[in-house]
């Protein structure tokens, strides 16, 4: 599906925009239709009648789909743009059907490896998964998916009490939101009794979402944690602007666009040292073992209590964003596609 408000959807739309700017025809085909983007997509089953010599098929790989077996049989040049598949063991305790779906996705990645002329990974962490699946030619290009950053990120003085933490992303088991809840308990007991947490993102697994709500209640955090659910881009930007610190507890992350959006807004970031988060955050945030609630709470307290450290992180974040250069990511991806010799990426 093409979702307008998620990282894969934004990246896909940005690629189409760059191709159009270069005078190259590009269409977006989907397996399932999102009503919000129906006018911008076509069913993939209509592609054979529209295929032209020189086409390049660019598959945005983030989940299992009937399109994988279909693509394995198509003759066109294939590029797999890999956004990550969450390992099934994260889903198995919560939804066995979703765990099987992730196993299928991993199998489809291996299926497409010998077919693909190029595997594009959004991080070096993801590139190792492509190589493990059997891809021969790979490259790393981050997703062109960030929200517009404020032109002048505001100064963020620490409130005397009641600092607001925020985390943004799907409510999925690999995000380990429970680690943030435990750390918040430690913070409220030892550092900041009025600290709160805002969790922004659509539920991904109903049983996991229900468990998070129960766990927050059991920890005595009913009034300290707000689960916002899915929000528009503008609402996410406003929530980042109102927060005091961004906490990223994910145990398996293929990239982490919301983390960079927080950094771009001038928000200090404390992130788990796992998955792609260390390479994305670099020295623009504080990396910890987020499964240790005392380590996570202590890092947040140090950041919020040290104006000099927050200034250092803001400067390092700006430099990290320059290095990653997400503004040029779509152009870099298109350059790699065109180097394959196709003249009509689709």
Distance of CA 13 to the CA centre of its chain: 16
Tokens of 175: 């995000």
Q: Please tell us whether the domain made up of 164-324 is placed in CATH 1.10.3720.10.
A: no
Rounded Cα distance, 261 and 266, in Å: 9
Q: Return the pLDDT at 156.
A: 53
- The secondary structure of the chain in percent helix, strand, coil, rounded to multiples of 5, reads 50, 15, 35
Q: Return the pLDDT at 341.
A: 72
Lowest average pLDDT, out of 164-168, 206-210, 231-235, goes to: 231-235
Model confidence over 57-84: pLDDT tens digits? 999 999 999 999 999 999 999 999 999 9
Which CATH code of 3.40.50, 3.40.109, 2.60.60, 1.20.1060 fits the domain covering 7-146+326-345? 3.40.50
The full DSSP string for 213-238 is HHHHHHTT-TTTEEEEES--HHHHHH
Q: How many helices (H) and strands (E) does the chain have?
A: 13, 13
Q: Return the pLDDT at 149.
A: 58
Q: Do domains 7-146+326-345 and 164-324 have the same CATH topology?
A: yes
Rounded Cα distance, 296 and 95, in Å: 28
Domain ranges in the chain?
7-146+326-345, 164-324
Residue 148 — pLDDT band, cuts 50, 70, 90? low
Query: Is 80:112 a contact under the CB 8 Å cutoff?
Result: yes
Model confidence over 99-145: pLDDT tens digits? 999 999 999 999 999 999 999 999 999 999 999 999 999 999 999 98
pLDDT at 346 over 60: no
Rounded Cα distance, 39 and 42, in Å: 8
């Amino acid at each position: 599906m093409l979702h307008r408000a998620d990282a894969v959807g934004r990246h896909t739309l940005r690629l189409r925009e760059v191709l159009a700017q270069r005078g190259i025809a590009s269409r977006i085909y989907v397996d399932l239709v999102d009503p919000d983007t129906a006018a911008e997509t076509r069913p993939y089953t209509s592609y054979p009648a529209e295929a032209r010599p020189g086409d390049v098929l660019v598959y945005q790989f983030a989940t299992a789909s009937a399109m994988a077996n279909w693509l394995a049989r198509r003759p066109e040049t294939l590029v797999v743009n890999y956004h990550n598949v969450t390992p099934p063991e994260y889903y198995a305790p919560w939804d066995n059907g979703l765990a099987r779906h992730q196993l299928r996705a991993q199998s489809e990645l291996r299926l497409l490896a010998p077919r693909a002329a190029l595997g594009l990974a959004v991080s070096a962490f993801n590139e190792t998964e492509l190589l493990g699946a059997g891809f021969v030619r790979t490259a790393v290009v981050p997703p062109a998916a960030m929200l517009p950053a404020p032109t002048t990120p505001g100064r963020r003085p620490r409130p005397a009490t009641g600092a607001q933490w925020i985390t943004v992303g799907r409510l999925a088991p690999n995000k380990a939101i429970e680690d943030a809840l435990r750390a918040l308990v430690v913070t409220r007991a030892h550092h900041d009794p009025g600290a709160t947490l805002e969790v922004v993102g659509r539920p991904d697994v109903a049983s996991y979402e229900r468990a998070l709500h129960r766990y927050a209640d059991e920890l005595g955090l009913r009034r300290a944690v707000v689960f916002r659910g899915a929000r528009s881009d503008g609402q996410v930007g406003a929530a980042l602007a109102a927060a005091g610190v961004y906490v990223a507890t994910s145990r398996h992350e293929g990239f982490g666009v919301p983390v960079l959006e927080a950094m771009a807004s001038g928000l200090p970031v404390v992130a788990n040292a796992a998955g792609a988060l260390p390479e994305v955050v670099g020295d623009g945030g504080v990396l910890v073992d987020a499964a240790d609630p005392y380590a996570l709470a202590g890092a947040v307290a140090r950041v919020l209590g040290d104006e000099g450290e927050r200034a250092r992180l803001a400067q390092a974040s700006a430099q990290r964003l320059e290095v990653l250069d997400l503004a040029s990511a779509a152009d870099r991806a298109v350059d790699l596609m065109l180097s394959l010799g196709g003249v009509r990426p689709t």
